[in-house]
């Protein structure tokens, strides 16, 4: 993913969805809003379920020249012809994943709130690093990223940075000057109108 001058949308699928209806919803959103990349982020670890979902979403995204990456499951992503993977173990598997998928694949790394892990992931060959959540929530231990990390990263590090987790209009407006991408998922899928919810977040970027 190329680094934009203004933040772009990195859309994250729900952890569970119906194959009979979600692809059509995704298509409508992609036709309405400019999205840089989609992450298939199912909670399931069933290979057949993941493969069928990837096949359907690949048709939707690639028809619109939008990259599709899969959370984890490097070999499956490669076999299914996806554009890359999103790793959740910070820098630990970036180098091996890059070697397995080649230079053209997208390899991203979620580094929670750790500047050190983010720098290590970038040095290991990650195309982007994501930090989050951006504010405390009811899930997890309540920890979140200090906004100053995004400010520092944008000034010092060339590797693109993604802000994801617990985003709202206020946090998007606050982080827009320092983020290359916003990883948006549950923030819109849990609403009655995901299309409108995404539009509101995009407008908040200014």
From 4-8, 42-46, 51-55, 69-73, the region with the lowest mean pLDDT: 4-8
**pLDDT of 79:** 97
Three-state DSSP at 181 gives strand
> Could you tell me if residue 127 is inside a domain?
yes
Question: Do the Cβ atoms of 111 and 104 come closer than 8 Å?
Answer: no
Tell me: pLDDT of 154 over 90.
Answer: yes
Tokens representing 52?
């069928």
Instruction: Examine residue 159 and state whether it is found in any structural domain, yes or no.
Output: yes
Would residue 15 count as lying in a domain? Answer: yes
Model confidence pLDDT, tens digit, residues 167-181 = 999 999 999 999 999
Q: Is the peptide bond before 133 cis (omega within 30 degrees of 0)?
A: yes
Domain membership of residue 113 (yes or no) is yes
Q: Residue 170 belongs to what domain range? A: 8-204
**Which residue has tokens 């230079």?**
103
Say whether pLDDT at 118 is over 60.
Answer: yes
Which of the 8 DSSP states describes residue 140?
A: T
Which residues, in sequence order, are CB contacts of 23 under 8 Å at separation 6+?
56, 57, 59, 60
In a domain, 2, yes or no: no
Check if the beta carbon of residue 37 is closer than 8 Å to that of residue 29: no
Whether 3 is in a domain gets the answer no
Residue 5 has pLDDT above 90, yes or no: no
| Local confidence band at 31 (pLDDT 50, 70, 90 cut-offs) | very high
- Structural domain includes residue 128: yes
Q: How many domains does the chain have?
A: 1
CATH code for the domain in which residue 14 is found: 3.20.20.70
What is the per-residue DSSP string for 90-111?
Answer: TTTTHHHHHHHH-TTSEEEEE-
Statement: residue 206 has pLDDT above 90: no
């Amino acid at each position: 993913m190329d680094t934009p001058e203004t933040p772009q949308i990195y859309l994250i699928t729900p952890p569970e969805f119906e194959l009979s209806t979600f692809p059509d919803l995704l298509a409508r959103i992609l036709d309405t809003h400019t999205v840089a990349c989609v992450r298939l982020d199912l909670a399931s670890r069933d290979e057949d379920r993941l493969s069928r979902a990837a096949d359907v979403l690949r048709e939707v995204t690639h028809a619109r020249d939008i990259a599709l990456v899969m959370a984890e499951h490097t070999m499956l992503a490669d076999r299914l012809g996806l554009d890359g993977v999103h790793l959740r173990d910070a820098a630990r598997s970036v180098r091996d994943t890059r070697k397995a998928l080649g230079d053209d694949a997208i390899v991203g790394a979620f580094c929670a709130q750790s500047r050190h892990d983010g720098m290590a992931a970038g040095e290991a060959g990650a195309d982007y690093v994501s930090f989050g959540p951006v504010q405390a929530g009811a899930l997890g231990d309540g920890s979140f990223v200090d906004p100053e990390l995004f400010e520092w990263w944008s000034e010092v590090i060339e590797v693109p940075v993604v802000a994801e987790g617990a985003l709202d209009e206020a946090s998007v407006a606050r982080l827009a000057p320092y983020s290359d991408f916003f990883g948006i998922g549950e923030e819109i899928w849990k609403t009655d109108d995901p299309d409108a919810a995404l539009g509101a977040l995009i407008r908040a970027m200014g």
